[in-house]
Amino acid sequence: MFRRLPEIETALNAAGQTVSFTIDGRPASARAGDSVTAALLANGVTACRTTAVSGAARGPYCMMGVCYDCLVTIDGTGNRQGCQVRVAPGMAVETQNGKREVER
């Protein structure tokens, strides 16, 4: 389970900005400035997708845009790198099951 470092938690609480979004349709909240991936981890979602061919579970690894293991569906578009997108108010984040669907 991931937790924010205490000193960062305090600083963020002082700034007081939270963002409401959804994870697979469930309401969730994050700190302003979080990446989608950080927001998922802070909400206890560690496996954000299953792989396109074998269906194995995957979670974020590098947090800096190189490993592509953080892929999720954001506002209907699949295969987005969650660690490279800032979470925004009202954003619909979905964990991604297997391959991206191009038809939607």
Residue ranges that bind ligand FES, judged by CB under 6 A = 37, 60-63, 65-70, 81, 83
Nearer to ligand FES, 4 or 58 (CB): 58
Give the end-to-end CA distance of the chain in Å, rounded to a whole number.
33
Distance, C-alpha 12 to centroid of its chain: 19
CB of 66 to another protein, least distance (A): 14
Under DSSP, the state recorded for 35 is: B
Sketch the per residue contact string, 14 through 53, with another protein: x for CB under 8 A, - otherwise: --------------------------------------xx
Q: How far is the CB of 71 from another protein (least distance, A)?
A: 9
Decide: 49 and 93 in contact? Cβ < 8 Å.
no
Sheet holding 96-97, edge to edge: 57-58, 49-50, 96-97
| 55 makes contact with another protein (CB under 8 A) | no
Which residue, among 43, 54, 33, has the nearest Cα to 98 in the 3D structure? 54
Q: Which residue's CB is nearer to ligand FES, number 31 or number 80?
A: 80
